[in-house]
Structure 1
Amino acid sequence: MSRKMLLAAAAALSLCAFPALAQETVAITGGKVLTGTSVIENGTVVIRDGRIVSVGSGAAPAGARVIDARGKTVSPGIVAVDAGLGAQEVSSVGGTNDLANGSNSIGASFDVSYGLDPWSFTLPVARLGGITRAVVVPAHAGGGGGFSHHQDDGDHDFAGIGGGGLQSPGLFAGQAAVVQLGQGTDILVRPRVAMVAPFGEAGAGIAGGARGAQFVQFKETLAEVRLYARNKSAYDRAALRGLSVSRADLEALIPVVEGRMPLIVTVHRAADIQQVLRLAREEGLKIILDGAEEGWLVADQIAAARVPVLVNAIANLPGDFERRAARMENAAALNAAGVVIAIKGNEGSVHRAREARYNAGNAVSHGLPYDAAIAALTVNPARIFGADGQYGQLAPGAAADVVVWTGDPLEPLSRPTAVFIDGREQPLTSRQTELRDRYLNGGEGDRPPAYRQ
């Protein structure tokens, strides 16, 4: 084979392995456009090279492929928060669960992005629910509103260093990552977007049983991180006193103590929320509250601290003493106080991640303004995790994550008729729909030979 032919073959293979963004111009016309911050009736959204080119009421540009959205609704892709998408297949099967970590030497340094599976069956299902991006969060004892996080049973069998004085288990669950749900082999958008730690009853259990003990241990850990950051050379020479966390965890926590990496704090009780706000103020931490079922009781304090909240809008049962005042109006009360909220899905936002929009609809029925509910699914998650203007909204320059719906996105019977992620149109199929179609009306012709005998 000639050198010229070899080069041509190599170029073709590279294009297959790393497909370029679609170059065609797509115009979605005639629909009700929810930009994430406003509404445009009979609007036009123009996509090119993976980005939103324009959003308005003008005509489609010449040469564009036109998608007729008359009678339909066009919205940004939903951003799932506190999710396990791509990192958990079956929660009860350990080998498919890369959200939970049981090492006492790798806590804060646990990076969930290394366990992501772009072939996960959960991704197309979520995509069919209009989800285009997700914030994947490590599991921990007493985790957030999804209620499928790892529960601490008190029987710790930790990998890593044994009796070396390291925290067992650690106070930190690890670092979250942002993923996109488009087809392809690389779903990671940004790793290490936030640190995760449980407080309240779960945090107290880790620290020895009392809430006060956790706060003391937490502050001491942050002091150790600052000591290490100032004296790395002494640490390398073994000339620094013994520290309670590993070097990997110390390094991972430096951005947290410096206020560059937000800390997702799982907390439920109003009294615990107050103490976490105090801790953040004293230590100079940038925090995000996760859960906050009793947040409405201290909404003004949360707003004054300018702390956002990841909320399960349908959490309304006092399943324990931390959620005695849980109510369906929580999201509305937080929003009314000026808190930036993002609405979560159910059961860890893996198999039921798509239910975030149902939860948002329920929040609207309990007082949350409609536009605030749309923002809580799209613009707000991006803003909370430092990507304001990059995705989660229909605006020039933003990633072309666009969903065309048959109707109102908050109406359960509405469904996507087109989904774009980074400008690429996605198939509206999943393993479930393929199995349905295969065996619909008997499906004899598509069955494997053994099934036809």
Structure 2
Amino acid sequence: MNALRLSSLLGVALTAGAAQGAGPPSTAGPPCALIRGVTLSDGAGDRVVDVVVRGDRVAAVRILAGGEPEPGCDVIAGAGRVLTAGLVDPYTRLGLVEVDLEAPTVDTDLRAPFQDPSGQIRASVRADLAYNPRSSLIGVTRLEGVTSAISVPSGGVISGRSFWVDLVGARQGTAIQRAPVAMHASLGPRQESRASAFQTIDVALREARDFATRQREWAKNQTPGFLTPRLDLAALLPVAKGELPLVVTVDRASDIEGLLRMTAGTPLRLVIAGGAEAWLVRDALAQRKVAVILDPLTYGPGSFDQLAARPDNAALLHAAGVAVMFSTFSSHGARKLRQLAGNAVRGGLSHAAALDAVTRVPAEVFGLADHGRVAPGAIADLVLWSGDPFELSTRVEGLWIHGRSVPLTSRQTALRDRYRHVPPR
């Protein structure tokens, strides 16, 4: 294979879609690729393997099988490089925010005229319909190895439903893998009291459970009216039944404890986002099998809800048996996800657990178990690194989403190349 072909497969020399930075992956790639002699890094440790990709799936992972590749398979030299599953950020605004201070480009607040007058319950509005797969932030984020994200709405006590996207393609139908993927709510400091926020969530979920068994009577006006609008109750039904996770943004340990008490005995699938003081209630979280999304750089008194935050939060939670994930809680900063994982390692978490926290764990928690792994049958979202992905000096040298080589370009690289050599006047 000539050097130009190999460079193309690694996505280094491809320039299609550079101006938008979020165009579709190359469709000129082969149906089969063999990444030979690469160091595979995952929760099971590091080992040198051959990885075969066919179509959009990983077809095989073999311990240095050697020999000739299958007919039609292109060979990519993996020696000296590290291969991981694509990174997943489970709490972003990607595709919903382009410029924070420019209102027409911010689509995270899902308040609608048919909701309750206070706008605190926004369960029924679909944020995925506003997703912009051509956002310039997507290409920038991909360049740092992030291949999937969950985009999350904001506002109110019950903010609405998030959705899972793979960072590929110029159409919503290509990028969005699951909608909804979770319902989102928020506790903590606000204008009204914390108790009123708890009550808003509690009443809405209780009414959703009641609504599930009394829909016919409600339609015939044979039941007392509900405080929660019908469309929101319908959206909350799968949450109340435990079919859709409820992600609650909360930092203070006492608020987490109150949430666990309020939902005890229900089938709710709780996930904590933020969790700055989650280590204080780690045994209770582990007992309830509640996963936690956190930012490892949140430590010290950043607010009155984070007074007990500490840098080994992730390590303590993991040691207690809590499923831990990491997020940048950002749109523009989502590209820094691997740096957060590296800081969790600095705080005492094992390298393998940190890698799981940005690959396998979010995929399993949110029900997309064919993502986040490098194993036969898994979606071929792969990243080829020049070294340890948690080291700042490491570069992405190859990127595949759904088995297709994706160009390592963005709006930033396009501007760099355009103005790198300015002709003299």
TM-score range, shorter chain: 0.7 to 0.9
* 1:378-419 Cα deviation digits (max 9, x unpaired): 00110110122x110100000000100111100112111110
SS of structure 1 residue aligned to 2:383 = strand
Q: Which amino acid aligns with 1:187?
A: A
Counterpart residue number, 1:45: 51
- Higher percent of residues as helix: 1
Among candidates 294, 297, 305, match of residue 277 of structure 2: 294
Q: Does 1:216 align with 2:199?
A: yes
Counterpart residue number, 2:161: 175
Distance, in Å, in 2 between the alignment partners of 1:295 and 1:420 is 35
Query: Is residue 22–residue 50 contact of structure 1 (8 Å, CA) maintained in 2?
Result: no
Query: Is residue 40–residue 56 contact of structure 1 (8 Å, CA) maintained in 2?
Result: no
Q: Which has the higher contact order (CA 8 A, sep 6+)?
A: 2
SS of structure 1 residue aligned to 2:282 = helix
Counterpart residue number, 1:193: 181
* 1:174-213 Cα deviation digits (max 9, x unpaired): 00100011233221111011100001224xx4xx32x233
1:48-197 matches, within 5 Å, as 48-57=54-63, 58-59=65-66, 61-63=69-71, 64-103=73-112, 105-106=114-115, 107-140=122-155, 169=156, 171-185=157-171, 186-197=174-185
Size of the aligned set, in residue pairs, is 391
1:238-257 matches, within 5 Å, as 238-257=221-240
Query: Is residue 32–residue 39 contact of structure 1 (8 Å, CA) maintained in 2?
Result: no
TM superposition score normalised by structure 1: 0.82
* 1:26-61 Cα deviation digits (max 9, x unpaired): 011122111x33234322111001100111222363
* 1:83-135 Cα deviation digits (max 9, x unpaired): 11111111221111111223363400122111111111011111101011111
Q: Does 1:421 align with 2:401?
A: yes
* 1:202-254 Cα deviation digits (max 9, x unpaired): 4xx4xx32x23333333222222223222223322333322222221010001
SS of structure 1 residue aligned to 2:101 = coil
Q: Does 1:439 align with 2:422?
A: no
Query: Is residue 161–residue 183 contact of structure 2 (8 Å, CA) maintained in 1?
Result: yes
Q: Which amino acid aligns with 1:105?
A: F
CA-atom RMSD, angstroms?
2.0
Q: Which amino acid aligns with 1:377?
A: V
Query: Is residue 37–residue 393 contact of structure 1 (8 Å, CA) maintained in 2?
Result: no
TM superposition score normalised by structure 2: 0.88
Distance, in Å, in 2 between the alignment partners of 1:18 and 1:315 is 35
Among candidates 381, 387, 409, match of residue 407 of structure 1: 387
Counterpart residue number, 2:297: 314
- The percent identity for this pair of structures is 36
Distance, in Å, in 2 between the alignment partners of 1:432 and 1:23 is 28
Query: Alpha carbons of 1:201 and 1:193: their partners in 2 closer, same or farther (altered >3 Å)?
Result: same
Q: Which amino acid aligns with 2:129?
A: Y
Counterpart residue number, 1:373: 354
Counterpart residue number, 2:333: 352
SS of structure 1 residue aligned to 2:59 = strand
Distance, in Å, in 2 between the alignment partners of 1:227 and 1:43 is 54
Query: Is residue 26–residue 406 contact of structure 2 (8 Å, CA) maintained in 1?
Result: no
Counterpart residue number, 2:20: none
Q: Which amino acid aligns with 2:373?
A: Q
Distance, in Å, in 2 between the alignment partners of 1:223 and 1:43 is 51
Which stretch shifts more, 22-31 or 258-267?
22-31
Query: Is residue 405–residue 417 contact of structure 1 (8 Å, CA) maintained in 2?
Result: yes
Q: Does 1:340 align with 2:349?
A: no
Q: What are the ranges of 5 or more consecutive residues in structure 2 without an aligned counterpart?
A: 1-23, 116-121
Which stretch shifts more, 303-312 or 227-236?
227-236
Q: Which amino acid aligns with 1:179?
A: V
Distance, in Å, in 2 between the alignment partners of 1:62 and 1:217 is 59
Distance, in Å, in 2 between the alignment partners of 1:310 and 1:18 is 29
Q: Which amino acid aligns with 1:245?
A: T
Query: Is residue 31–residue 42 contact of structure 1 (8 Å, CA) maintained in 2?
Result: yes
Distance, in Å, in 2 between the alignment partners of 1:19 and 1:66 is 17
* 1:312-333 Cα deviation digits (max 9, x unpaired): 0110131221100111111111
Q: Does 1:276 align with 2:276?
A: no
**Structure possessing the higher radius of gyration over alpha carbons:** 1
Q: Which amino acid aligns with 2:360?
A: V
Query: Alpha carbons of 1:416 and 1:367: their partners in 2 closer, same or farther (altered >3 Å)?
Result: same
Query: Is residue 80–residue 349 contact of structure 1 (8 Å, CA) maintained in 2?
Result: no
Q: Which amino acid aligns with 2:187?
A: F
Query: Alpha carbons of 1:104 and 1:294: their partners in 2 closer, same or farther (altered >3 Å)?
Result: farther
Among candidates 407, 410, 420, match of residue 430 of structure 1: 410
SS of structure 2 residue aligned to 1:201 = coil
Distance, in Å, in 1 between the alignment partners of 2:77 and 2:308 is 47
Distance, in Å, in 2 between the alignment partners of 1:22 and 1:192 is 31
Q: Which amino acid aligns with 1:435?
A: L
Q: Which amino acid aligns with 1:229?
A: A
Distance, in Å, in 2 between the alignment partners of 1:220 and 1:183 is 40
**Post-superposition shift, 1:443?**
5.3
* 1:135-182 Cα deviation digits (max 9, x unpaired): 111123xxxxxxxxxxxxxxxxxxxxxxxxxxxx5x310001000112
Distance, in Å, in 2 between the alignment partners of 1:221 and 1:121 is 37
Query: Is residue 25–residue 168 contact of structure 2 (8 Å, CA) maintained in 1?
Result: no
Query: Is residue 299–residue 337 contact of structure 1 (8 Å, CA) maintained in 2?
Result: yes
Which stretch shifts more, 233-242 or 430-439?
233-242
Distance, in Å, in 1 between the alignment partners of 2:166 and 2:28 is 14
* 1:321-367 Cα deviation digits (max 9, x unpaired): 1100111111111111111111112xx33111021110110110110
